[in-house]
A and B are shown apart, each in its own frame.
Chain A
Amino acid sequence: MTTLLFIEQLLNGLQFGVMLFLMSAGLTLVFGVMGLINLAHGSLYMIGAFAAAAVAAATGSFLLALMASLAAAALAGALIELTIIRRLYDRDHLDQVLATFALILIFSEGTRWLFGSFPLFLDVPAALSGPVTLPGGIQYPAYRLTIILVGLAVAVGMFALINRTRVGIRIRAGEADREMIAALGVDIAKLYTFVFALGAALAGFAGALVGAIQSVQVGMGEPVLILAFVVIVIGGIGSIKGAFVGALLVGLTDTLGRFLLPQMFALILEPSAAVSVGSALASMLIYILMAGVLIFRPRGLYGVA
Chain B
Amino acid sequence: MTRETWTNLAALAVLAGVPLWAYVADEPFIITLATRAAIFALAGVGLNLALGLGGLVSLGHAAFFGIGGYAMGILASHAQAYAPLAEWPFLIEGTKSMPVIWLVAVVASALAALAIGALSLRTSGVYFIMITLAFGQMIYYFAISWPAYGGEDGLSIYVRNGFPGLNTLDPIQFFGLCFAVLCAVLVLMWLVQNSAFGLALSAARQNETRVLSVGMVPYRLRLVAFVISGAITGLAGALFADLNRFVSPTMLSWQMSGEIMIFIIIGGVGRLFGPVIGAMVFILLEHTLGGLSEFWHVYLGALLLGIVLFAKGGVIGAIAGREKAHD
Contacts and interface: CB of A to CB of B under 8 A. Distances in A.
Contacts of A113: 295, 298
A283 B141 contact: yes
Given A97-B57, A97-B129, A106 B135 contact: no
A94 B50 CA distance: 12
Contact of A294 (B119, B265, B297, B308): B119
Contacts of B296: 109
B131 A97 contact: no
Given A94-B57, A283-B141, A294 B133 contact: no
Interface string A87-118: 10001011101110111111011101100000
B127 A99 contact: no
Contact of B304 (A102, A282, A283, A299): A102
B146 interface: yes
Contacts of A189: none
B127 A237 contact: yes
A224 to B, nearest CB: 12
Contacts of A232: 130
A232 B123 CA distance: 14
A294 B131 contact: yes
A284 B138 contact: yes
Interface residues of B, number: 43
B258 interface: yes
B100 interface: no
A287 B298 contact: no
Given A101-B304, A109-B297, A283-B145, A226 B135 contact: no
B142 A280 contact: yes
Contacts of B273: none
Interface residues of A, number: 44
Interface in A260-300: 276, 279-280, 282-284, 287-288, 290-291, 294-295, 298-300
Nearest to A31: B126
Interface of A: 31, 37, 84, 87, 91, 93-95, 97-99, 101-106, 108-110, 112-113, 222, 226, 229-230, 232-233, 237, 276, 279-280, 282-284, 287-288, 290-291, 294-295, 298-300
7 contacts: A102-B301, A105-B298, A109-B298, A222-B254, A229-B133, A233-B127, A237-B126
Interface of B: 51, 57, 59, 119, 122-123, 125-127, 129-131, 133-135, 137-138, 141-142, 144-148, 254, 258, 261-262, 265, 269, 295-298, 300-302, 304-305, 307-309, 312
